[in-house]
């Protein structure tokens, strides 16, 4: 999905209302978040709230005031008391097996090198993790999240979404987002905003490469992509604009559709700077062509990032499944390391029992295997 996202060296900032705005992705100059919100609100389609959550969107949890039902083909599944998510009714994956295409060095279970240190040594901007405000009450969790040798960037899972920042039209609150920024600021970490409901472009394609039917496409056709990107560039000329989606990590119809879209935008001078590959995988089914796909996107003149990486397994866990999960994570990260235009990896929270696509009988997170 193309999201308004933010990434910044937090020591240069105060609170969320003064940010480095990046549309779904990387680094830019400071701009007022409130100003950005009001500029976007001038576009009629931005104020349209979806009646149902999209695939991978939030659909419940303590304090959640947004949609509690999911679009067709997905089911609302509780991750924890604070977070329920729309998961595909039938999981799909673009390819299978492990990538094994890169020999970039990664820490082993006995290595003293930590994930963000390794990423930056490999020339990446960061290795990051999603998080959420309720998790800040867990001291052990917070200690690892705050270690910038593990994580050079954190992504707030919910506190920068539309329902959190504008619970009523015209009424803005940034307390949750400010708390995340303050944490990152104290740890010299970057922040990537995650604003699911007022994204610029949200997962435009179906898995077969056709355009997804939604209020934007049904009203404006494909022109909504142009309008969104041009408006975002006008709001901040220095922002990097990303389109972010899932199931585009391996070769297939959806990845091809995204490449064709990027190529078309570039040919017509519509601003587009990067593609985010979400990376929601199943153990043993990471696409073997992920590095090739990233290289193909980079060849179009954009950069790429792994933005929401998790690899889930069916319980009960076994040593073999855990080893395969570790290998899968290593292969995805190695693929990014091997592509100069891949700027970093964000995992969709790092510890078992928190977030991501934690189904009743599935365990997705990286856990202690960082």
Whole-prediction pTM: 0.68
User: What's the pLDDT at 210?
Assistant: 86
Q: Is 303 a catalytic residue?
A: no
User: What's the pLDDT at 316?
Assistant: 87
Task: Give residue for tokens 């990014």.
Answer: 336
Please tell me the total number of residues recorded for the chain in this structure.
370
> What DSSP string runs through 294-352?
HHHHHHTT-EEEEEEEEEEEESSP-HHHHHHHHHHHHHHHHHHHH-TTEEEEEES-SST
Give the whole-angstrom CA distance, residue 61 versus residue 367: 22
Q: Can you list the domains of the chain with their CATH numbers?
A: 4-49+92-363 (3.20.20.80)
User: What's the pLDDT at 2?
Assistant: 37
Triad 94, 97, 101: Cα angle to 5°: 95
Give the whole-angstrom CA distance, residue 35 versus residue 181: 18
Tens of each residue's pLDDT in the chain, 370 residues: 333 333 333 333 333 332 223 333 333 332 333 333 333 333 323 333 347 887 777 788 766 777 888 888 888 877 655 567 777 765 433 343 433 333 334 444 345 678 999 999 999 999 999 998 998 998 989 999 999 999 999 998 888 887 888 889 999 999 999 999 999 999 999 988 765 433 456 578 888 888 888 788 888 888 889 998 999 899 888 888 889 899 999 999 999 999 999 999 999 999 999 999 999 999 999 999 999 999 999 999 999 999 999 998 888 889 999 999 999 999 999 999 999 999 999 999 887 544 433 343 444 445 434 4
Give the whole-angstrom CA distance, residue 233 versus residue 310: 30
Instruction: Give yes or no for a contact between 156 and 191, defined as CB atoms under 8 angstroms apart.
Output: yes
> What DSSP string runs through 107-156?
--TT----HHHHHHHTT-SEEEEEE-GGGGG-HHHHHHHT-TTT-SEEEE
Q: Which of 166, 203, 308, 317 is catalytic?
A: 308
Alpha carbon 187 to chain centroid, angstroms: 21
User: What is the token pair recorded at 13?
Assistant: 């900032």
User: What is the token pair recorded at 291?
Assistant: 């590095």
> What DSSP string runs through 167-216?
SBTTB---HHHHHHHHHHHHTT-EE----STT-SB---B-TTSSBP-SHH
Give the whole-angstrom CA distance, residue 370 versus residue 113: 10
- Cis amide bond preceding 316, omega within 30: yes
Closest CA to 251 of 294, 194, 195: 294
Instruction: Give yes or no for a contact between 234 and 46, defined as CB atoms under 8 angstroms apart.
Output: no
């Amino acid at each position: 999905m193309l999201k308004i996202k933010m990434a910044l060296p937090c020591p240069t900032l105060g609170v969320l209302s003064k940010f480095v705005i990046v549309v779904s992705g990387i680094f830019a100059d400071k701009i007022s978040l409130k100003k950005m919100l009001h500029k976007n609100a001038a576009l009629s389609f931005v104020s349209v709230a979806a009646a149902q959550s999209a695939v991978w969107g939030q659909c419940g949890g303590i304090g959640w005031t947004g949609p509690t039902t999911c679009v067709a083909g997905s089911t609302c599944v509780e991750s924890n008391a604070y977070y329920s998510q729309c998961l595909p009714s039938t999981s799909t994956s673009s390819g299978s097996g492990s990538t094994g295409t890169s020999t970039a060095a990664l820490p082993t279970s006995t290595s003293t090198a930590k994930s963000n240190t390794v990423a930056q040594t490999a020339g990446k901007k960061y290795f990051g993790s999603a998080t959420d405000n309720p998790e800040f009450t867990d001291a052990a969790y917070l200690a690892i999240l705050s270690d910038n040798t593990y994580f050079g960037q954190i992504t707030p899972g919910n506190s920068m979404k539309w329902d959190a920042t504008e619970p009523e039209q015209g009424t803005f609150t940034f307390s949750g987002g400010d708390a995340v920024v303050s944490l990152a600021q104290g740890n010299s970490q970057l922040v990537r905003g995650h604003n699911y409901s007022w994204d610029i472009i949200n997962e435009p394609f179906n898995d077969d490469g056709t355009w997804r039917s939604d209020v934007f496409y049904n009203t404006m056709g494909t022109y909504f992509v142009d309008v969104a990107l041009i408006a975002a560039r006008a709001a901040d000329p220095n922002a990097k604009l990303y389109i972010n989606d899932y199931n585009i990590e391996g070769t297939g119809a959806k990845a091809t559709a995204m490449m064709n879209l990027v190529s078309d935008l570039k040919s017509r001078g519509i601003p587009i700077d990067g593609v985010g590959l979400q990376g929601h995988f199943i153990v043993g089914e990471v696409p073997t062509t992920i590095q090739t796909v990233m290289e193909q996107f980079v060849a179009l003149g954009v950069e790429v990032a792994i933005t929401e990486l998790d690899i889930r397994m069916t319980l009960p866990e076994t040593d073999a499944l855990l080893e395969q999960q570790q290998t899968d994570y290593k292969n995805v990260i190695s693929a990014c390391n091997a592509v100069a235009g891949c700027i970093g990896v964000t995992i969709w929270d790092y510890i078992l029992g928190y977030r991501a696509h934690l189904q009743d009988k599935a365990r997705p997170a990286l856990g202690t295997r960082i």
